[in-house]
Amino acid sequence: MSESTETALGLTESRSIGGRILKAVVYLLVLTMFAGPLLALLVGAFGDIKDPTQLSIVPSGFTLENFDIAFDQGVLKYLLNSFFVVGFGLLLQVSVSVLAGYALARKVFPGMTLAFVAILATLMLPEEILAIPLSVVLADLPVVHFNLIGTLAGMIVPLGAWGFSILVMTEFMKDVPRELEEAARIDGAGDFRIFAQIILPMCKPALGVIGVFGFTMIWDQYLLPLLVATDSSSYTLPLALRTLRIDPAVTPGVVMAASLLALLPSVIVFLFFQRSFVSGLSSGALKG
């Protein structure tokens, strides 16, 4: 037993028969507890489930009827709305974060502390606390007088400046070596070239982190779309689940089918970018 694999409980390195059985039982229990309900959702989406009591992790038949009905109910439209919001939302969020991160990490200028504190302060002001005034502001943006209520843009722009992403970017950009930048500057490169051609390409790991976190954060939005959407034409998929459920003609199987479509994108993103996700969690991603 080498020292490097030693763990607090010493359970995982146990090789005895008792230890192995215990391990198997523990892992099975954990899987049932956390993945079990999701398995039931998967089975339910493809099963003939007319009543909530039929939900089970044991498949009973296979049908695509739930998806057919879900699409008849406009689920495809809601899914497209969700993709639109997450696509443009993420693009905006990442652009805003890398630009702000560059200024905060690579520049020294008067008023810098103030800008930094302002970004930090936004972390104290989540959508929940601002819900009511935010809906007023969205109905009539100060100065420019746009009304974003009922538009998908209204679900996107408020998410553009996310303090968490900006802080992750700032921390990461601080660690890019100065020498590269100085050399480029001597060659006469301006700030925008240095930003785009030197700093940004070196920030791929951090881009992965803010990309994954941004995606799951935007995909999970509920209150903001609820404030903005006025009718079903601007619903996102998570928002539409409740409407589907309330409809007496819609069976739980259909709700499960729509739910499956609503969870697949973020689960896929997580599985593909797991490394970014975990590194983000363990290094300052705790804010949020």
Partner 1 sequence: MSLDQADPAALPAAGPAPRKVGRRGGGAADRRVRGRRGGRWWTPWLFLAPALILSLYFKFIPMVNAVTMSFQEVQPYLGNRWVGTDNYSTVLQSHGFREAVWHTIVLAVGQTFGAMALGFALALLMEGQSRRLGFVRSAAFLPVVVPMAVVAELWRIMYHPTGDGMLNSILGLAGMGPSGFINDPDTSMASIMVTGIWRGAPYDMMIFLAGLTSVDRGLYEAARVDGASRWQRVRHVTVPGLRSVFSILFILAAIRGLRVFTEVFLLTNGGPNGSTEVVMTLIYKLGLEQNRLGVGAAGAVLLFVATLILTVIVQLLRRRESK
Residue list 122-161, contact with partner 1 (CB under 8 A): 122-126, 128-137, 141-142, 157-158, 160-161
Give the rounded distance of the alpha carbon of 10 from its chain centre.
34
Q: What are phi and psi of 146, to 5 degrees?
A: -90, 150
- Is 284 one of the binding residues for partner 1 (CB under 8 A)? yes
Binding partner 1 (rule: CB under 8 A), the pick from 71, 83, 84, 270 is 270
Tokens found for residue 124: 């104290």
Cβ 135 to partner 1 shortest distance, Å: 7
In the bound state with partner 1, the residue whose beta carbon lies nearer, of 95 and 233, is: 95
Binding partner 1 (rule: CB under 8 A), the pick from 20, 21, 37, 247 is 37
Tokens found for residue 196: 């785009």
Contact string 224-253 vs partner 1 (x = CB under 8 A): ---x----------xx-xx--x------x-
Residue closest to 239 by CA, chosen among 157, 155, 136: 155
In the bound state with partner 1, the residue whose beta carbon lies nearer, of 59 and 126, is: 126
Binding segment (CB under 8 A) for partner 1, from list 60-68, 72-80, 93-101, 202-210: 93-101
Residues 153-212 that bind partner 1 (CB under 8 A): 157-158, 160-161, 166-167, 171, 174, 178, 182, 185, 190-191, 194-195
Cβ 204 to partner 1 shortest distance, Å: 19
As a whole number of angstroms, the distance between CA 43 and CA 88 comes to: 32
In the bound state with partner 1, the residue whose beta carbon lies nearer, of 4 and 16, is: 4
Binding segment (CB under 8 A) for partner 1, from list 60-68, 72-80, 203-211, 263-271: 263-271
Q: Which residues contact 225 (CB under 8 A, 6 or more apart)?
A: 85, 155, 235, 236, 238, 239
In the bound state with partner 1, the residue whose beta carbon lies nearer, of 76 and 263, is: 263
In the bound state with partner 1, the residue whose beta carbon lies nearer, of 211 and 252, is: 252
Binding segment (CB under 8 A) for partner 1, from list 35-43, 65-73, 83-91, 202-210: 35-43
Whether the CB-CB separation of 269 and 212 falls below 8 Å is answered with: yes
- Is 112 one of the binding residues for partner 1 (CB under 8 A)? yes
- Is 53 one of the binding residues for partner 1 (CB under 8 A)? yes
Whether the CB-CB separation of 102 and 215 falls below 8 Å is answered with: no
Give the rounded distance of the alpha carbon of 201 from its chain centre.
23
Number of residues that bind partner 1 (CB under 8 A): 114
Cβ 144 to partner 1 shortest distance, Å: 9
As a whole number of angstroms, the distance between CA 219 and CA 225 comes to: 11
In the bound state with partner 1, the residue whose beta carbon lies nearer, of 28 and 64, is: 28
Residue closest to 9 by CA, chosen among 28, 17, 283, 22: 22
User: What type of residue sits at position 223?
Assistant: L
Residue closest to 98 by CA, chosen among 172, 3, 14: 172
Cβ 220 to partner 1 shortest distance, Å: 5
Q: Could you report how far apart the first and last alpha carbons of the chain are, in Å? A: 39
The number of residues making up the chain comes to: 288
In the bound state with partner 1, the residue whose beta carbon lies nearer, of 10 and 87, is: 10
Whether the CB-CB separation of 238 and 220 falls below 8 Å is answered with: yes
